[in-house]
Amino acid sequence: MASATFEATLGSIFDRSEHAIADELDKAKVRAESLQAMDTNRLAFTLTEAVEHILAPAIEQSLSIYDAAINRPITPNQSWETAIRQRIVHSVDAGVAQALALDGANHSWKPLIREEAPKLRARMLLQADRHFGELAKRRKAAERRPRPIENPIRAGLFVAGLAVGALVMRLLAG
């Protein structure tokens, strides 16, 4: 998969998730207002959970596209991994900004969301980093694993070559 195609696909995944975050935040705010939790800590955590809930599937989808792009053989692409990490950070920051923009008033939950943003970023990045770590482990295991089918095939071709050579010698000898 070409780099431009990969990054365009990655961009569309996270763009869709950022639009979904806006919808989910509106729903979370309505739920919180119905619970009269506008000035409580609960709203801050409800909004950050909404962002995390929407981004988690987008991250999984981007990682599966990454897997498909690097599969056969597994060769990590640092620029694509960096692109995924950057999109995660951008989407978390955009989601937090959308949450903060839900209400213009200076509520007590807003500093809590700002404090939670780095933790949310770290949790979302950890999801991707775990995946990249697993890929590295699988690649190393594949490199160490002996190829049991390859050796018998080589031996068979060698024996077949000897047999064909012997037949050609016999035919030439007469």
Query: pLDDT grade, residue 173 (50/70/90)?
Result: confident
SS3 call for 77: coil
Within 8 A by CB and 6+ apart from 121, the residues are 88, 89, 92, 93
Specify whether the CB–CB gap between 86 and 71 falls below 8 A: no
Question: How long a stretch of residues is the chain?
Answer: 174
pLDDT value at 112 more than 60: yes
pLDDT at 26 (0 to 100): 82
- Which of 5-9, 114-118, 135-139, 149-153 has the lowest average pLDDT? 149-153
Which two structure tokens, joined as six digits, stand for 77? 């692409």
Specify whether the CB–CB gap between 52 and 123 falls below 8 A: yes
Within 8 A by CB and 6+ apart from 102, the residues are 25, 26, 29, 47
CA–CA dist 35, 90 (Å, integer): 31
pTM, whole model, 2 decimals?
Answer: 0.69
pLDDT at 23 (0 to 100): 85
SS3 call for 71: coil
pLDDT value at 1 more than 60: no
What one-letter code names the amino acid at 60? E
Which two structure tokens, joined as six digits, stand for 28? 């979370």
Query: pLDDT grade, residue 39 (50/70/90)?
Result: low
- For the chain, what percent of residues have pLDDT higher than 90? 18
